Amino acid sequence: MTKKKSGFWTFIFSLMPGAAEMYMGFMKMGVSLMGLFFGVAFLAGFFGIGVIALIDVIIWFYGFFHAHNLRAMDDEDFYALEDQYLLPMEGFAKEFWTRTVISRYRKIIAIVLILFGLSILWDNFLWIIELIIPRIIFDYIYSFSYRIPQLILGIGIIAVGVMLIRGKKQELLEDAIDIEEVDEYGSKAGDQNS
C-alpha cells in the first residue's frame, strides 16, 4: 500500500535509486529503477566500458529527485498515483517483445545468449588454466580475453548500425516503388476517365 512516510527515511532511502519508492509502497517503480541502475552498472563492468557508467549518474539523479517529488505531492495526488513500471512492461511492451523482437531477431538473441554463456564458461576456465600454465603465458591469455567482450560489443554495435542503414535504405526504395506505382496507375486512371 502506498503511504507517505518519514521525510528523513525517504531521504536516506533516496540515496539508492528505487529504494525510496519501495519504502513508500511503489514497488513497481522502485524495482524498475533499481533494476535499471544495477543493470547499467553490470553492463559497464562486464564490457569494461566505463563510459556506460555515466548513464548510472543520470539514473541516480532521476531516482533521487523522483523520490523527493513523490514525497512532496499533495496527499490527494499521492494516494491517487498508480504504481507502474518506469519502462513499459505490460500490454504493448509484452506483445512488442514476443511478436516483434523475439520472432524477428530470434537468431541474433540466440547468438548473444550463446556468447554470454561462453564468456561465463571462459572466465571459469581461465582460473583452471592459471594453475596449469606458466604465469607469463597466462597473463597474455588473460589480457587478450579481457578485451573479447568489448570486441564483441563493438562488432555488435556496428552490425546493428549496418542493419539499420540497410533497413532504412530498403524502406526508402519500397516507398519510391510505391510512389511510382501510384503515379503510373493514377495517370492511367485519369486517361481512362477523359
Domains held by the chain: number: 1
Question: What's the mean pLDDT in 64-92?
Answer: 80
Half-sphere exposure at residue 46, Cβ-oriented, CA atoms within 13 angstroms:
14
Residue 74 confidence (pLDDT): 85
Q: 57 lies in which domain range?
A: 7-87
- With 50 as the cut, is the pLDDT of residue 190 above it? no
Whole-structure pTM value: 0.57
In a domain, 185, yes or no: no
In a domain, 13, yes or no: yes
- Give, in degrees to the nearest 5, the angle at Cα 76 between 70 and 78: 20
In a domain, 15, yes or no: yes
3-state secondary structure 5-69: CCHHHHHHHHCCCCHHHHHCCCHHHHHHHHHHHHHHHHHHHHHCCHHHHHHHHHHHHHHHHHHHH
In a domain, 68, yes or no: yes
In a domain, 174, yes or no: no
In a domain, 167, yes or no: no
Query: Residue 58: is it exposed, middle or buried by C-beta count within 10 angstroms (0-12/13-18/19+)?
Result: exposed
Q: Which of 20, 5, 18 is nearest to 86 (CA)?
A: 18
Cβ atoms of residues 37 and 22 within 8 Å:
no
DSSP secondary structure code for residue 87 in this structure:
S
In a domain, 44, yes or no: yes
Q: Write the pLDDT tens digit of every residue in 28-52.
A: 889 989 999 998 988 888 777 777 8
Amino acid identity for residue 68 in this structure = H
Question: What's the mean pLDDT in 139-167?
Answer: 80
Per mean pLDDT, which range of 110-114, 119-123, 187-191 is the poorest? Answer: 187-191
Cβ atoms of residues 22 and 33 within 8 Å:
no
In a domain, 82, yes or no: yes
- With 80 as the cut, is the pLDDT of residue 103 above it? no
Cβ atoms of residues 13 and 66 within 8 Å:
no
